[in-house]
Structure 1
Amino acid sequence: MNLSRIILGSRSPRRKELLTQLLPETQIEVVPPADPEEAGFEQLHEWDAIQQQLISICTAKNEDVFQQRPADASVPILTADTIGVVKRETGDLVVLGQPPVESAWQETVKEWFLNDYAGRTHLVLTGVCLRYQQRVTIQIAETEVTFHDQEYVRERLDWYLSTQESRGKAGGYAIQGAGSIFVNRIEGSLSNVVGLPLETVFEMLNRSQTV
């Protein structure tokens, strides 16, 4: 990649840490979106609608950053959004966001772990949007994450909740942290589950240099 600078439109320190595995930190400028509000997924339970919402969010973030820095039109702008998707017994797909900030967060995470994760496979999706030289490209990376069985999860869940790692984490766990003990198998990109699919970003940046 022949890049001298890239703008990362994100508030996530994890995304910057991941991007430094592809590019020197001195080449990465972080410009968080000015608007912290994002569209929700509460009423969306179908695959196409969830994907379209994810694309809309990462695209809106990119446009937000571009409007802040229109003079840097020749500098690539990278934005992303990561969600976890589970399938309930009703057949509905449900996007799990961050646990509630109040005291009920532990009960919410416990319900997710025991009913949605334990012994089951869920999907982690990241929408990636790259703007470079007036071209906007978008890709969605998918990773399947399978947790250990109910007994295994139940025996360790109270301890995990006591670490408070779940707070502020999409889906209520951090695979790069203590939450990794619950994971039995991953199919796809590990960095995608952390918050930025490096394989996808690498290919998008390489293609942007050859177009």
Structure 2
Amino acid sequence: MKELILASASPRRKEILDSLGVLFSVEISNFDESSITEKDPVKRCILTARGKAESLFKTLPQNEDAQKLILAADTLVFAENTPFPNEKIIFGKPKNEKEAEMMLKSHSGSVHFVVSAICLLDCKTGQINEKHSVSKVFFKKLSDKEISAYLKTDEWKDAAGAYKIQGKASFFIEKIEGSYTGIVGLPVRELYEILNKTEFRIL
């Protein structure tokens, strides 16, 4: 039986795996995400997830990794409503409250996209399987009062796009198109598909 290692410190990803009854351990990857310079948000997300998996793999003792699968993921938010054709604005995790406020104002009354990529690395064979989801999120028009109140919740911290859909930001979302779990940070259908290609059984 393969052992699954989640290469993420994200409590949301851990909660999703726990809710599915998946047995796993957690080991944090120290991959430098700033090393990815790809401009396309989907490609960037995929490369970052892969980088996290490969970075952790290099740190594992060679004689102990044969039965291990490393699962890494990355999530980012992007918008297409820019003045330049084919250009996208990428929203990472805000560095401070002011940056979070700017992101929320950008989301207000508009549509943005959330991409979540997952990478599964088989430590025995070195084989990599990757999947991703792209979801569409429709925000209602936010008042300055609502933005200020949300910032005080601190939910924006450590959240791509400055909000968490599973928290109080759900008050602001009119609808989504795509994967809810992908927006949270770990697309479950895609996870099921790549795990089914291995000896690790999720169902």
Q: Does the pair score TM above 0.5?
A: yes
Structure 1's consecutive aligned runs of 4 or more residues displaced over 4 angstroms after TM superposition are 40-43
Q: What displacement does 1:43 show? A: 7.6
Would you say the 8 A contact 1:22–1:202 is kept in 2? Answer: no
Residue 158 (structure 1) aligned with residue 154 (structure 2): no
Q: What is the percentage of aligned positions where both structures have the same residue?
A: 29
Residue 32 (structure 1) aligned with residue 28 (structure 2): yes
1:90-129 aligned at under 5 Å gives the runs: 90-91=83-84, 92-101=87-96, 105=97, 107-114=98-105, 116-129=106-119
The answer to which structure has the higher helix fraction is: 1
Of 140, 151, 155 in structure 2, the residue corresponding to residue 148 of structure 1 is: 140
Listed as ranges, the gaps of 5+ residues in structure 2 are: none
Cα distance between partner residues in 2 of 1:171 and 1:32: 22
Would you say the 8 A contact 2:31–2:55 is kept in 1? Answer: no
Residue 179 (structure 1) aligned with residue 169 (structure 2): yes
Q: 1:43 to 1:59 in 2, by over 3 A?
A: closer
TM-score scaled by structure 1?
A: 0.83
Q: 1:41 to 1:94 in 2, by over 3 A?
A: farther
| Paired position in structure 2 for 1:136 | 128
Q: How many pairs are equivalent? A: 194
Letter of the structure 2 residue corresponding to residue 205 of structure 1: L
Q: What displacement does 1:147 show? A: 0.4
Tell me the alpha carbon deviations over residues 68-98 of structure 1, each in whole angstroms, 9 at most, x when there is no partner: 2232232221100000011233132011111
Q: 1:180 to 1:40 in 2, by over 3 A?
A: farther
SS class of match (2:19): coil
Would you say the 8 A contact 1:55–1:127 is kept in 2? Answer: yes
Would you say the 8 A contact 1:41–1:50 is kept in 2? Answer: no
Q: 1:140 to 1:155 in 2, by over 3 A?
A: same
| Paired position in structure 1 for 2:76 | 83
Listed as ranges, the gaps of 5+ residues in structure 1 are: none
TM-score scaled by structure 2?
A: 0.86
Q: 1:40 to 1:112 in 2, by over 3 A?
A: farther
| Paired position in structure 1 for 2:3 | 5
Would you say the 8 A contact 1:84–1:124 is kept in 2? Answer: yes
Q: CA RMSD in A?
A: 2.1
| Paired position in structure 1 for 2:43 | 52
